[in-house]
Amino acid sequence: MFEKLKISDEVDYIPFEVDGVELKKIEILFTNEELRNGVETLSEDWELEESQVIENKYLSIDMVGKNGIEAVYEDLDAEFPIALKKKLKDGRQKFAPIKVKAGTDKILPIHAGCVPVQQVVAVGRMSSGKTCLRLQMTDLPYFDLIASGTDTAIYDDFPAIDLLKRKQDEERRAFIYEQVLPEGTKVNGIYPANYYMISAPKRNILLKYDDISGEECINMDWNSSILNASYIIFMIDSNELLGKEVAKYHEILDQLLPKVKIKKAGQDYKIFVAITRADLLLEQNEKLAGICQKTLSWDGKRYTKLVHKNGFNLKEFNKKQMAIKEYLSQDCPDFYNTIRRYIGEDKLVYGLLASIGSEPVRISESDGMEWKYEYNPQFIEEPIMYLLNDSGLYPTATEKKEESKKETKKETKRDYEEDEESDETDVDGLFDFDSIKEILKKKFRKTVE
């Protein structure tokens, strides 16, 4: 289980970090698209004095209750606004739902400061599958995949107006629906971290997901955002384990493991070891393939769960973990023993990941090189499902009530039929019904006389 998430002493604000620096609540400003683009100003369109506002386009939390500024709240962990508003003299209302970091125009999640943040990072060498998973996690069918069969809701918490978000959405559509492989994450990549609002019946969190460039993983320093995460997805290409490529996982492990062990000593964290291009591994290992069944299907529009139907199937996942550990201990002992020596089994989780589910084929075109592949991903839901389940935000799968009732009815009917057969046999063998009739007749006659 993860460490208790940090809550501010102030009940009206939960600390929110940007680039490793914790913001004070007055450093989260409020605006809207018209104000940001200069189409409107607070002095002219909000009926405020220019001296009372910031750059004539930003409002701060300490303005609430003054000059008609009101806060808009949700029933969440802290009473920090999701927006500010003002009623004008003519009865119209103005809203400022966009949060930005003071001193910049950097957009923040809608629920920044309202709920605790759980940070997740994906690390691995270049082309290990980090960007593919990030793009899949921004797709609506992925949200449906996680939420179906449960009471947990997951949705993108970043405002749709963000230009980088729009560019990322274009890349996602190309990857999933048009067979265009994404570019790898660059150092200090252009895309901001993705934020997802996770809403469960008894708890809410902001899930911050970031994938780190392969170069940054290799040249990791002590202030890397990787070391701030409580959940690290370490991706290793199955080609390295199968010997199809030169094994270079030590380039990252030699940086990651010692730093994690020292900087996160005494903290709760998990490292999810994800073997990527798992379809290739399962083709080569029949024993592993027999245990690691497919978890989902894709019909071109939506995913269907095959394993985690009404919650996280921990029993099947643990069975898979045991098989993966057995495989690694026998076929990849250096890798397996290295991570166990540094981290310890209690902080390690093992899984598979097949972001595409088939081997891309490179084809030559007149305008350059392109890839073709059949999009049939597997296991892409399990890293996030495990995190949410381990954090108490996602149910563990149980036997469906309907199936249980059917089994109970079958057993009851079977027992009844067996009892009837048993009763018939006993009666025929133990009683002389003619003798009993004669005895009863004599008793009846004496009683009447």
Q: What is the pLDDT of residue 127?
A: 76
CATH class of 117-390: alpha beta
Q: What is the pLDDT of residue 245?
A: 75
Q: Using an 8 Å Cβ cutoff, are 354 and 131 in contact?
A: no
Q: Which residues of 319-328 are buried (b: 16+ CB within 10 A; e: fewer)?
A: ebbebbbebb
* Spatial distance between the Cα atoms of 183 and 271, rounded to a whole number of angstroms: 25
Instruction: List Cβ neighbours of 324 (8 Å cut-off, separation of 6 or more).
Output: 275, 288, 292, 350, 351, 352
Q: What is the pLDDT of residue 419?
A: 52
Q: What is the pLDDT of residue 441?
A: 55
The stretches in the chain having pLDDT less than 70 are: 1-11, 160-162, 184-191, 364-371, 399-449
Q: What is the pLDDT of residue 432?
A: 53
Q: What is the pLDDT of residue 187?
A: 44
Q: What is the pLDDT of residue 228?
A: 87
* Spatial distance between the Cα atoms of 217 and 239, rounded to a whole number of angstroms: 19
Q: What is the pLDDT of residue 210?
A: 87
Neighbours of 120 (CB within 10 A): 23
Instruction: List Cβ neighbours of 427 (8 Å cut-off, separation of 6 or more).
Output: none
Q: Using an 8 Å Cβ cutoff, are 267 and 228 in contact?
A: no
Q: Give the distance from CA 367 to its chain's centroid.
A: 38
Q: What is the pLDDT of residue 235?
A: 93
Q: Using an 8 Å Cβ cutoff, are 72 and 84 in contact?
A: yes
The first and second tokens of residue 323, run together, are 């098989």
